[in-house]
Amino acid sequence: MIHERAGEPTRPSDLIDVDALMQDYYQLSPNPATAEERVRFGTGGHRGKASNRSFNQAHILAIVQAIVDWRNRMPQGAPKVLWLGKDTHALSDAAQKTALEVFAANHVRVKLQRDNGVTPTPAVSRAILVANREHGEFYSDGVIITPSHNPPTDGGIKYNQCDGGGADVDATSWIEQRANEYLADGNRQVKRVSYEEALAADTTELIDYVEDYVADLDSVIDMEAIRRANLKIGVNPLGGAALGYWRPIAERYGLNITVVNDKLDPTFSFMTIDHDGKIRMDCSSPWAMRPLVALKDQFDIAFANDPDSDRHGIVTRSIGLMDPNHYLAVAINYLLAHRPEWSTNLGIGKTLVSSSLIDRVARFHGRTLIETPVGFKWFVPGLFKGQICFGGEESAGASFLRKDGSAWTTDKDGPILCLLAAEILAKTGKDPGQWIQELTQKFGKSYYKRIEAPATLAIKDALKSMTPEQVQSSELAGEPIVARLTRAPGNNAAIGGLKVVTENGWFTARPSGTEMAYKIYGESFRSQEHLQRILSEAQEIVADALKNV
């Protein structure tokens, strides 16, 4: 059910008390015997709330020391440099300070944005890859302090390995276990110095991520084409880490960019209320994006990013805010026709909850589709090794190769997906909204929806262990079931849920990797009514599986 205030401006009562949040971060201690208060790595690292003792200073101390231990046990030796970044959530600043205290005490050479600045996730990923090309493949790795688009109350931390992407299951499982051992021991074995000592340490180097990232953009985007087209571009960074990047981009490449919101505010008071009544900086949400959509006729193309800038939201004159699945299909279709240096052997990566419209576009271009579980980390090896040219997920996260076919980032990059929308308009004369209309005429219209409900850890764990046998029916929404999947067809990795497929539709049920909720995704290529029937039957299947939880 959509909240009655969805899309409306915030009120004072909606806003967090930043001082109270900081007090909770520093003063509340988790109980390691309580599952909800332990370190748990999901698809985007460890996330939680200081107020419920799931993201506190104790967690960061334990996690960062565990990351140090993981680096020290690498067969080739610990990386020489760690790139550190944070987004604009209030807890991110506190957590980065705590992290630096541990890294400095362990003599880890850290590079972080000068002037206590913020850094987009893709800037960290790109920095890792560029440094390793120059100094060796195991030279550097990174840590990013971010809960992505989650509400202002939340905090998050993730580890990116030497391939530039989010850590794999082996790494996160080991780090999680080690961190919880530290927590259980009261963090007595964690090494730490004061923040002042850490900042002054000879292992701490203050740098500017912005200049190098901006200067390198024309290796992945046709910036000259955008300049020549003189497009009028609107940008809303949603109070995120990309804010300090858009004006340098405009200045370097001569682009006509208007930043419509230049506010940095840890309460995110400038946001509009999301679908569930919360403040959420989700650039794919029509409710969170309502202010930018209202300006669509003032610009040729407009876009937004979330707080760590790994997601994109595209607003076109033709149709307004684009559905993330639709834009992925448009982006893939365009890139496969406009990147002549890319090998035709390169595949397309998509998560199994992304639209099957992508499958049809990939098939049309003769490309192999690699369908993975949810989580961008599954695309990292393919992008890093040059096996896929594009990896994307339905939650508006994607990245793709440089024009020469080498890796740009192996984590999601919101700004390049935004700039690609401008390139598409500049090079073809049609905005992505017009292109999706052509693609749906060619490949069929997709009806897609995601629903969610609150979930305890027990419910989430039960969903992770669902089996194909729990689907007793031979039909879904009147069509024969052709596949019951608990492992992804692209890499045989566990889905952590269940996908059921028919000729013209499918659903996937899985726990959220970022919030205390479970999600059901569904798609139909027949009708809205057919989609609703798929979702209804999916809920019955899930409810039956969870009845004893």
Mean residue pLDDT of the chain comes to: 96
| DSSP3 helix / strand / coil % (the chain, rounded to 5) | 40, 20, 40
**Whole-angstrom distance, CA of residue 134 vs CA of residue 330:** 34
Give the tokens for residue 47: 């996330």
**Whole-angstrom distance, CA of residue 165 vs CA of residue 35:** 27
Q: Which residue has the tokens 């690609």?
A: 420
CB distance 96 to 143 below 8 Å: no
Q: What is the DSSP string of 308-365?
A: TS--EEEEETTTEEPPHHHHHHHHHHHHHHH-TTS-TT-EEEEETTS-THHHHHHHHT
Which residues lie across from 482 on neighbouring strands? none
**Whole-angstrom distance, CA of residue 423 vs CA of residue 364:** 22
Interaxial angle between packed helices 457-464 and 528-546, expressed in degrees from 0 to 180 and rounded to the nearest 10? 110
Q: Rounded to an integer, what is the distance from CA 198 to the centroid of its chain?
A: 29
**Whole-angstrom distance, CA of residue 362 vs CA of residue 368:** 7
pTM: 0.95
Which phi and psi angles does 537 have, rounded to 5°? -70, -35
Q: Please report, as a single letter, which amino acid is at residue 293.
A: V
The pLDDT tens digits of the residues spanning 435-463 come to 999 999 999 999 999 998 788 888 888 88
**Whole-angstrom distance, CA of residue 420 vs CA of residue 90:** 31
**Whole-angstrom distance, CA of residue 267 vs CA of residue 82:** 29
**Whole-angstrom distance, CA of residue 13 vs CA of residue 372:** 41
CB distance 90 to 146 below 8 Å: no
- In the chain, count H helices and then E strands: 17, 23
Neighbours of 34 (CB within 10 A): 12
pLDDT confidence of residue 123:
98
Interaxial angle between packed helices 18-27 and 90-105, expressed in degrees from 0 to 180 and rounded to the nearest 10? 30
Q: What is the DSSP string of 410-471?
A: SS--HHHHHHHHHHHHHHHSS-HHHHHHHHHHHH---EEEEEEEE--HHHHHHHHT--GGG-
Q: Please report, as a single letter, which amino acid is at residue 75.
A: P
Q: Please report, as a single letter, which amino acid is at residue 321.
A: L
Q: Burial code of 481-512, b = ≥16 C-beta within 10 A, e = fewer?
A: beebbbebebeeeebbbbbbbbebbbbbbbbb
CB distance 55 to 114 below 8 Å: no
pLDDT confidence of residue 548:
73
**Whole-angstrom distance, CA of residue 403 vs CA of residue 178:** 40
Neighbours of 136 (CB within 10 A): 13
The burial of 449, by beta-carbon neighbours within 10 Å (0-12 exposed, 13-18 middle, 19 or more buried), is given as middle
Q: Please report, as a single letter, which amino acid is at residue 541.
A: I
**Whole-angstrom distance, CA of residue 360 vs CA of residue 367:** 10
Distances in whole angstroms, Cα of residue 150 to Cα of each of 9, 23, 278, 359, 458: 18, 20, 9, 29, 22
**Whole-angstrom distance, CA of residue 18 vs CA of residue 33:** 28
Torsion of CA 521, 527, 532, 533, to 10 degrees: -110
10-residue averages of pLDDT along the chain (549 residues) = 95 98 98 95 91 98 98 97 98 98 98 98 98 97 97 98 96 97 98 98 98 98 98 98 98 98 97 97 98 98 98 98 97 98 97 97 97 95 96 96 98 98 98 98 95 84 85 91 94 93 95 80 97 94 77
List active site positions. Answer: 148
CB distance 141 to 161 below 8 Å: yes
pLDDT confidence of residue 465:
85
**Whole-angstrom distance, CA of residue 318 vs CA of residue 547:** 46
Q: What is the DSSP string of 433-448?
A: HHHHHHHHHHH---EE
Q: Please report, as a single letter, which amino acid is at residue 34.
A: T
Distances in whole angstroms, Cα of residue 534 to Cα of each of 379, 528, 529: 28, 10, 9
Neighbours of 460 (CB within 10 A): 21
